[in-house]
Amino acid sequence: MAFTFAAFCYMLALLLTAALIFFAIWHIIAFDELKTDYKNPIDQCNTLNPLVLPEYLIHFFFCVMFLCAAEWLTLFLNLPLLAYHVWRYTSRPVMSCPGLYDPTTIMNADILAYCQKEGWCKLAFYLLSFFYYLYGMIYVLVSS
Amino acid sequence: MSAPGRTNLRGSVGYSQNSTPNGGAAPPCQNGPLQTYPPMYPPTGYYGAPPHHQGYPGVSAPGKAPVTNSANYYQSNQQHHVAPSSYSAGPPPQPYATVPSSAPPPPPPHAQYSQQPFQQPPYAPPGSYYAQQPYQVSPAQLHQQPGLVAAPASGPGAPIYPSAPGSGHYGTTRTTTAPEATQMGAPLHHYSAAPPPPTAALHPGYEAAAQMTVNGKGCAAGVQNSSHQHYDQSHPAPRSYNSYSGGGADRPASGTLSASAHSSPGRHQGTPFGFAADSGASSASAAASGPAGALTSSSSDDDDEDEDEEAGGDSSSSSTGSASPVPNNYDSLEGGSYPDSMPPSNDMTNQAQPYSNYGYQGMPPAYQQGPAQPTDAPPSQNLYGPSGYQPYSQPFPSLSQLSAALGGLSGVPELEVEALRPVNLLQERNLLPPRPLEAPEPDISSDLKKVNCSPQTFRCTLTSMPQTQALLNKARLPLGLLLHPFRDLQLPVITSNTIVRCRSCRTYINPFVTFLDQRRWKCNLCYRVNDVPDEFMYNPVTRSYGEPHKRPEVQNSTVEFIASSDYMLRPPQPAVYLFVLDVSHNAVEAGYLKRFCDSLLENLDKIPGDTRTRVGFLTFDSTVHFYNLTEGLSQPQMLVVSDIDDVFIPSHDSLMVNLKESRELVKELLTSLPAMFSQSRETHSALGPALQAAFKLMSPTGGRVSVFQTQLPTLGAGKLQSREDPNQRSSAKGVQHLGPATDFYKKLALDCSGQQIGVDLFLLSSQYADLASLACIAKYSAGSVFYYPSFHHVHNPAQMEKFRRDLERYLTRKIGFEAVMRIRCTKGLSIHTFHGNFFVRSTDLLSLANVNPDSAFAVQMSIDDSLADSSLACFQAALLYTSSKGKRRIRVHTLCLPVVSQLSDVFAGADVQAITCLLANMAIDRSISCSLSDARDAVVNAAVDFASAYRSSVSNLQQSGLVVPAVMRLFPLYVLALLKQKALRTGTSTRLDERVFAMCEFKTQPLPQLMRMLHPDLYRLDNMSDQGALHLNDAVVPQPRLLHLSAETLSRDGAFLMDCGSVFYLWIGKGCGETFIRDVLGCPSYASVPSNMSHIPELQTPLSERVRAFLDWLQDNRAFSSTFHVVKDDSSAKAAFLQHLVEDRTESASSYHDFLQHVHQQMSK
């Protein structure tokens, strides 16, 4: 049992994924608030938009870590989400500040539903990957 | 664009016929060999039509009311004011009271009224009471709605209502009777608040006039009562006359207050009966007796005036009121509403002749003798022929005949059968109705129909609401609403301390709620049971207690409340107007400034507002200039801010000044402004900073900013680059840059919206100015966009004229400030997407910094839960705004539709025009968010999906080919027309700005205007006959037939008028008769007609008078006046005309026939 770089990656990913889970929950709540008319879309977009890039960067960051640690399977599992993030950010509406959400279109039922579904899917993904990283960390620790 | 009801993305099936290789081969817009319809569509053309084809000799020309402006209204009122004496001599007050035919008015309300001290002896007996009757009588005209204490309340006798027991001030008033008022709000002041003695003199006039209206309408009810006939002109006049005279006694029936909602005879909510009756009455009586005839016809005048006032609103603009009321009305004269466009309607069911009652029942021989003779033409020509039905139904024995038989025997509404009659589009060519389509009516009980909201205000794509989303999906039609909420109209205004609303969903009380007992009502949207407040028990109209269901709120589906301070976040703002003017070299070259200043000077007194009205001016080139106009200065002071990176306001209180106090300075500024910059050499434009300055200037108050821009902004924040590649204009590949280049304008617009500032953009540019980006400033602040491509004061007089007219309307039209609109719908329905100019603040709330009477909205809906437990679905749009007089008001529209569970009922209730417009909105969204080709595919697929859905729903349909129900028979044509619009076309050279502007128009124009843009109305003018013509005041307005938009219908020896909504084209064929050219155009010969003629000279020839009467009539019912172009067959301007012939093949788009083939192929895939 040794503390390898891979194990370190998994531990880091574990912590960061916990953070990402909170991001996802935050998104879901935020969109639910929009749907139930609690918040003004401008305010809501202003609070959500700054969180988008950090989330993507965190995910990108531990993907790179896994690349460095040559954890191919883990990397492979994360690639679809990474690709999705890249696609999502490149196809964002024209806006001068970072972020994805445009207050003028966010109230469109299609977009709102999409964002909510996206939030739930991400939450599920992060939760699963949380346990996977936990398992991976222990596996790496035990096997090495 | 993905409405739940449609799956519109069918991969990339595309619309491949677009770019057929022989594009260049056949001359554009000519149906060459491809159009092979000879057998069914004789080349002479159905419409090539000898003059007879429109003959309806039965009733030669019913006296029809004028669509005139308020001046006439006023006059005719005055006439009436004399008239009643002779008229009402016949039926004195008693008869009015005696025959409440179907009305059970518990306490005859007039009795209560007559107890009131009205001192108007000459006119009083019926007048004082009946004056308000029109509004009760005609629930049909929704907005001239019942129940309001109008003139009488404020008449000389009774200035203000006494307080209701236990309540505060109940003043209800209505504005209809005050044509002299310039604002909706005005009458309130005039009558209710402080009835000034001078107006008292007028009242008798109004009331008398109103009384006449009653008569007109009473007889309308009478007609319907007695015969249930769908009146058209071919009906024998005597019948309607009889019923008219008989109707005299019936008047009170529908006239009484109590009767208004639920008891008067089933009358169409639309206008047909009312007007039909009017016309019948007037023509009949005209025939019978001279003076009486004149009298009655003027009574129908009045009737129309009501309608028109409703459209016109302000007296200053009533002639240019909102677009559509009148055509609909006149349609009824013209031979009825088109059966297929109407949903099943009980009114029709009593008819004995199942088929022939449509349209041309008693069709005079002249009509049948037209070239479109059923006998020598294939069945397809018979659509409107009297004997046409049988031949049609033969190919489809299974469905149509069976159901028709059923309809005849067992009372299935024939209209439904007619609406569902399968039409094989590949065989039938003659689809157009002779007059523009009317909105279908929901199939609800006649009581509800009468109080239902006008289709001009509120229209649903499916007038029969499917019960479940699954059913909607099966129908493959988009579900949505088209709203025109702030339309110029007359409506009851209600002042009350408590505005009764549902406690859980906050719905305003409306005619469709149910009263469980005297003290409780059940909300029709959320079904909660609410208490009726004490105050509501008192009815100010009848001044009786304990009749909550007779309150005006419950009698009218369109009402306006004067809101209390609960509805204010801050004190109502004054009317504040800021004009932001481009004065760069380019602007000076274009020369708009002079025109603008002149227009503003002319209309300075007509700008809506009160004593608090404030104005300001701001000009910009590479710097921003402010104008200090404080009262007391000897001349305006110009303050220049050259720091455009950080604009500041040089002086806070002197830049926006009170118009009243500083009028002279404002005038001086406007006079000197054009000269001030005439030497300007500054080519840059700092629009962004100027807008920021405007925002800062306006944020304390809110208001309206009008921006005039002539070029691409090149300096400071929000500067833009040219994105258009002229070589790509006609590329079929896909159009780039339909979205904004920067979000600067959008963010600024949102800031503006937050501060209640609406921004209207006038773009007068000859070059590309990136409207896609600039329009955002108006789009999200609920403004409007005006675009004048290649504007130049000398080189382009047509645009200049258009600009002048638009400005006049723009400056004087009504305006609402700090508005929000909420749309509520029955539980189970939800709003999916909004279309229009606004900011969506929450799922059902639109934030409108400014609201104007010319913009419309569209809403897509979805069905979340089954509506099975209710038989009616309701929608309520409530618009809360501050009027220009500083009154907070709430305008509430409620629409009620039946819920159906059968697919066939859904189809029968489809409103093809509304569907097309909603589809257009969805397509525009799609083309911006995805791509143009995607949007086009989706539009085509909408047609394909619908046809497939219909085919699969009708299992026993033997017919192969492209079969659609008759109500939707124009759908493929409209879809094709949509694809050929500037907004969505490909392959034809279209400037990016023009395309984007067309898209903006689609999003904001009201439906009638949109339909004219989409599918212009084409008429032949040189052989107009007087048959079927309308008689307005002293003018005869001929009613030529609607023609297909195809080169086939044009003939060299004719003159054709195309009405494209904002522009008229008069196409003159090479061989056009000398008489027409001489009498109408005032030129000796075809060759001498100038190529840029843009008006019709006022010649005194009969033909000229008729043509002008027709043009004026068309013009009268739209908000912005249209420009006019004479297009010679050999002129270069011909292309502009020919591009609207949507049924023809062009280089880049297929013909209607090809399109149908394409749809058919797609269906079979």
Query: Cβ contact (<8 Å) for A37 and B842?
Result: yes
Q: What is the spatial distance between Cα A139 and Cα B726, in angstroms, rounded to a whole number?
A: 63
B956 pLDDT band (50/70/90 cuts)?
A: low
By the 8 A CB rule, do B829 and B505 touch?
no
**DSSP 3-state of B845:** strand
Mean pLDDT (chain A, rounded): 91
Q: What is the pLDDT of residues B759-811, one digit of tens each?
A: 999 999 888 999 999 999 999 999 999 999 889 888 888 888 889 999 999 99
- In this model, does residue B1115 exceed pLDDT 50? yes
Single-letter amino acid code for the residue at B710: T
pLDDT of residue A83: 96
**DSSP 3-state of B840:** strand
Tell me the chain B residues in contact with residue A31 when contact means C-beta distances shorter than 8 Å. none
Q: What is the spatial distance between Cα B255 and Cα B279, in angstroms, rounded to a whole number?
A: 19
Interface test with A, best of B842, B844, B860, B921 (most A CBs within 10 A): B842
Q: What is the pLDDT of residues B11-58, one digit of tens each?
A: 333 333 333 334 333 333 334 333 333 334 333 333 333 334 333 333
Most confident of B49-53, B295-299, B1057-1061: B1057-1061
Extended strands (E) in B1093-1165? 1123-1128
pLDDT of residue B600: 94
Count CA within 13 A, CB hemisphere, residue B308.
Answer: 34
Greatest CA separation for chain B: 85
CA dihedral B519, B522, B524, B525 (to 10 degrees): 120
The length of chain B is 1165
Q: What is the pLDDT of residues A111-133, one digit of tens each?
A: 999 999 999 999 999 999 999 99
Size of the A and B interface in Cβ pairs below 8 Å: 51
Q: What is the pLDDT of residues B166-175, one digit of tens each?
A: 333 333 434 3
By the 8 A CB rule, do B369 and B360 touch?
no
A13 pLDDT band (50/70/90 cuts)?
A: very high
Phi, psi of B1092, deg, nearest 5 = -115, 35
Tell me the chain B residues in contact with residue A104 when contact means C-beta distances shorter than 8 Å. 746, 750, 780, 839-840
- The DSSP call for residue B795 is T
B3 pLDDT band (50/70/90 cuts)?
A: very low
Q: What is the spatial distance between Cα B245 and Cα B784, in angstroms, rounded to a whole number?
A: 49
B422 pLDDT band (50/70/90 cuts)?
A: confident
**Tokens read off for B362:** 């008693």
| Total Cβ atoms within 10 A of residue B137 | 33
Backbone conformation region of residue B506, classed left if phi is above 0, alpha if psi is from -120 to 50, else beta: left
- In this model, does residue B1094 exceed pLDDT 50? yes
Distance in Å, alpha carbon of B831 to nearest chain A alpha carbon: 8
pLDDT of residue B775: 93
Contact with chain B for residue A103, Cβ under 8 A = yes
pLDDT of residue B958: 63
Number of H helices, E strands in chain A: 4, 0
B424 pLDDT band (50/70/90 cuts)?
A: confident
Give the burial class of B825: count Cβ atoms within 10 A of its Cβ; 0-12 exposed, 13-18 middle, 19 or more buried.
Answer: buried
Mean pLDDT value of segment B579-583 = 94
Q: What is the pLDDT of residues B968-990, one digit of tens each?
A: 889 999 999 999 998 888 877 88
Contact with chain B for residue A93, Cβ under 8 A = yes
Mean pLDDT value of segment B246-251 = 36
Query: Cβ contact (<8 Å) for B747 and A107?
Result: no
Give the burial class of B166: count Cβ atoms within 10 A of its Cβ; 0-12 exposed, 13-18 middle, 19 or more buried.
Answer: exposed
Task: Kindly identify which residue of chain A lies nearest to residue B780, measuring between CA atoms.
Answer: A104
Q: What is the spatial distance between Cα B787 and Cα B998, in angstroms, rounded to a whole number?
A: 9
Mean pLDDT value of segment B942-960 = 81
Residue-range definition of the domain harbouring residue A106: 3-141
By the 8 A CB rule, do B494 and B887 touch?
no
Task: Kindly identify which residue of chain B lies nearest to residue A40, measuring between CA atoms.
Answer: B841
A14 pLDDT band (50/70/90 cuts)?
A: very high
B690 pLDDT band (50/70/90 cuts)?
A: very high
Query: Cβ contact (<8 Å) for B832 and A110?
Result: yes
**DSSP 3-state of B842:** strand
- Closest C-alpha among B593, B620, B607, B582 to residue B663: B607
Most confident of B136-150, B165-179, B625-639: B625-639
Residues of B with CB under 8 A from a CB of A: 2, 739-744, 746-747, 750, 754, 780, 830-834, 839-843, 845, 862
**Of B198 and B666, which is predicted with more confidence?**
B666
Distance in Å, alpha carbon of B801 to nearest chain A alpha carbon: 35
Most confident of A25-29, B338-342, B1037-1041: A25-29
pLDDT of residue B911: 92
**Tokens read off for B870:** 């209710």
pLDDT of residue B413: 54
Interface of A with B in 45-84 (CB under 8 A): none
Q: β-strand B785-787 against B757-763: which pairing, if any?
A: parallel
pLDDT of residue B1036: 79
Which strands, in side-by-side order, build the sheet including B1055-1059?
B1017-1020, B1055-1059, B1063-1068, B1123-1128
Among the partner residues B742, B780, B842, nearest to A96 by beta-carbon distance: B742
Q: What is the spatial distance between Cα B461 and Cα B457, in angstroms, rounded to a whole number?
A: 13
By the 8 A CB rule, do B259 and B146 touch?
no
Single-letter amino acid code for the residue at B1078: R
pLDDT of residue B619: 93
pLDDT of residue A48: 92
**Of B1157 and B31, which is predicted with more confidence?**
B1157
pLDDT of residue B179: 36
Tell me the chain A residues in contact with residue B741 when contact means C-beta distances shorter than 8 Å. 94
Q: What is the pLDDT of residues B271-287, one digit of tens each?
A: 333 333 333 333 333 33
Phi, psi of B144, deg, nearest 5 = -90, 65
Query: Cβ contact (<8 Å) for B840 and A35?
Result: no
pTM above 0.90, yes or no: no
ipTM score of complex: 0.92
Mean pLDDT (chain B, rounded): 70
Distance in Å, alpha carbon of A126 to nearest chain B alpha carbon: 29
Which helix H or strand E contains B848, and what residues bound it? strand B845-851
- In this model, does residue B146 exceed pLDDT 70? no
Phi, psi of B838, deg, nearest 5 = -175, 180
Mean pLDDT value of segment B603-626 = 92
pLDDT of residue B1010: 92
Q: Please, which residues bridge with residue A98 across strands?
A: none
By the 8 A CB rule, do B465 and B477 touch?
no
Q: What is the spatial distance between Cα B83 and Cα B87, in angstroms, rounded to a whole number?
A: 6
Q: What is the pLDDT of residues B377-400, one digit of tens each?
A: 333 333 333 333 333 333 333 444
Q: How many domains does chain A have?
A: 1
A2 pLDDT band (50/70/90 cuts)?
A: low
Q: What is the pLDDT of residues B906-940, one digit of tens each?
A: 998 999 999 999 999 999 999 988 888 899 999 99
| Total Cβ atoms within 10 A of residue B104 | 11
User: Computed over its alpha carbons, how large is the radius of gyration of chain A?
Assistant: 17
Most confident of A33-37, B327-331, B362-366: A33-37
B414 pLDDT band (50/70/90 cuts)?
A: low
pLDDT of residue A78: 93
Q: What is the pLDDT of residues B781-790, one digit of tens each?
A: 999 999 998 8
Q: What is the spatial distance between Cα B1072 and Cα B522, in angstroms, rounded to a whole number?
A: 65
Single-letter amino acid code for the residue at B1125: H
- In this model, does residue B679 exceed pLDDT 50? yes
- In this model, does residue B468 exceed pLDDT 70? yes
- In this model, does residue B851 exceed pLDDT 70? yes
Q: Please, which residues bridge with residue A95 across strands?
A: none
pLDDT of residue B182: 35
